[in-house]
Amino acid sequence: MAVVIRWVSAILAVLMGLPLLLSSVFQSLLKVGYDERPTQAISENFLEGNVDFIDEAVADSWSAGYAKRLLTPDDIDSHRYFLGGFLKFPAQEVTGVIDDLYVRAVVLDDNSGRGAAAFAWIDGIGFMNADVKAVREKLSDITGEGKLISIDIGSTHTHSAVDTQGLWGNIPKSGRDEAYIDALVNKAADAIREAYNTRTNGQLYYASEYCPVMFNDSRNPRAVDEYIHLFRFKPDDGEKKEIYISNFGAHPVNLAWSNSELSGDYPYYVEQAVNTKCNADFIFIQGAIGGGVGCNLTEENGIPQIGDSNYERMQAYSLKVADILAALAEKSERVDPILNVAHAQLDFVVDNFVFKLAERAGLCNATAFKENGDIKLTSEIGYIEIGKNVKILEAPGEVLPEIVYGGFYSAQEAFNGCEYPYEPLKNKFAAEDEILVFGLCNDAVGYIVPDNDYSASNEEGHYEETVSTGSTAASSLSKAFDKLITERCD
């Protein structure tokens, strides 16, 4: 009976939404119905970061705070939620809970008096820029010079969480549950506020480990950040827990297409293991996962091939990650208390019809506008320096790693028969610098594919283009980062 109800509900949603769907198709094709650039709305609750960068530490120590909030709805059995991550018809409704969803937050401060930076990552498929700004609005009383000068919010990108974008409902009906989003916004703000208010002094350490066997890439050319990164905050007060901040790029899709229950996927199980092994609080910040970068759950990686699904293998993978993090904690080196943060806004030209259609249909909390004949969407990027040699690029979607680390197709290999017009972003830094990517940060604009290998025709090996703003997203990102880094580093 439940299956019949799902089908009837889905068909009714499509039939009732046909006028909206047809109107959206009409507007998308003819570029009509769009407003001009909403300048005031774009600038509202955008935080530029530090006014000035520093090259030398002012204080002897860092301060940091941590908090988290439960996101698993308590009315799963009585309320309809859609699972975000796999496009199905009828849309996949949540049927239960494997493990809990959370928003985790950490606040870092170099004690220079210039202000602290907050980082909050949610267990979800993606979080739109307008929703990020809603969180910032709730923290406006502790935002500004000398307080929180940066509030960055991203998603782990688990494909087994409540739909936080809206793309996985019974289209053209959005999969977003606005009451859930409102609660998420409040909880994220609460977690950041607690982390800010409970900062304690201590030292920050950093290490990374080259782990190529831990990752796979479903799209050529293989260009993966093959490192697992760890920041370890050790409080001066020995009674307080340490904080582990881990960053690497791998899709949390290990429960697969058939799953209908909530799960944080591997980040949840890494956290459980870190809590047990190291008695530390934990936050996972997703990396550069464009091109289908995922977890290597094979025997090659020492993962026992147990069970009929990837669930047990994913748990084994998580334990392996936790072991790597524990080893990194032991060899990590002190980082000078230098925290420099800068953000910039950028426009993506939206020429992907699927993305335009989703925006016009109101599936997700994003508003495009028309300017000089183009349909555009404003997002944001970030650049962070931690200590003297750790440089972090914050990307608003699933950036393909070659845009940052290199390994582009040549003109002879690329779909469009030309070279990518920009150098990899790592070339802007010194050889000894550690270059990290915080992906799906402050927005979720889909895959960011190099222009020279972008195909709008759904060719084999080009799935990512169907979930992208369009053909110039990568060059727009490269150009914006080039400008931001040059302005702040010179």
Q: With contact defined as beta carbons under 8 Å apart, do 124 and 209 qualify? A: no
- 349-398 pLDDT, tens digit each: 999 988 888 889 888 999 999 999 999 999 999 999 999 999 999 999 99
Q: Evaluate the omega torsion of the peptide bond into residue 424 and state whether it is cis, within 30 degrees of 0.
A: no
Q: Which of the four pLDDT bands, split at 50, 70 and 90, describes residue 39?
A: confident
Angle at 134 between CA 130 and CA 136, to 5 degrees: 115
Angle at 281 between CA 276 and CA 287, to 5 degrees: 105
Q: With contact defined as beta carbons under 8 Å apart, do 233 and 109 qualify? A: no
Give CA–CA dist 263/96, Å, rounded: 9
Using alpha carbons, select from 22, 51, 248, 277 the residue that is nearest to residue 144. Answer: 51
- 154-166 pLDDT, tens digit each: 999 999 999 999 9
Instruction: Specify the number of domains making up the chain.
Output: 1
- What's the predicted TM-score (pTM) here? 0.95
Give CA–CA dist 445/195, Å, rounded: 28
Give CA–CA dist 356/377, Å, rounded: 10
The pLDDT value recorded for residue 31 is: 80
Neighbours of 75 (CB within 10 A): 10
Percent of the chain with pLDDT over 90: 78
- 313-326 pLDDT, tens digit each: 999 999 999 999 99
The pLDDT value recorded for residue 17 is: 53
Percent of the chain with pLDDT over 70: 93
The pLDDT value recorded for residue 1 is: 47
Q: With contact defined as beta carbons under 8 Å apart, do 125 and 467 qualify? A: no
* Distance linking the first and last C-alpha atoms of the chain: 65
- 96-142 pLDDT, tens digit each: 999 999 999 999 999 999 999 999 999 999 999 999 999 999 999 99
Cα–Cα distance list, 393 to 106, 214, 282, 434 (Å): 18, 22, 21, 11
Q: With contact defined as beta carbons under 8 Å apart, do 242 and 278 qualify? A: yes
The pLDDT value recorded for residue 3 is: 56
Residue 154 corresponds to which amino acid?
G
The pLDDT value recorded for residue 11 is: 52
The pLDDT value recorded for residue 307 is: 73
Examine the pLDDT at 227 and tell me if it is beyond 50: yes
Examine the pLDDT at 29 and tell me if it is beyond 60: yes
- 264-303 pLDDT, tens digit each: 999 999 999 999 999 999 999 999 999 889 999 999 999 9
Residue 430 corresponds to which amino acid?
A
Q: What is the mean pLDDT of residues 75-93?
A: 88
Domain that holds residue 275: 1-490
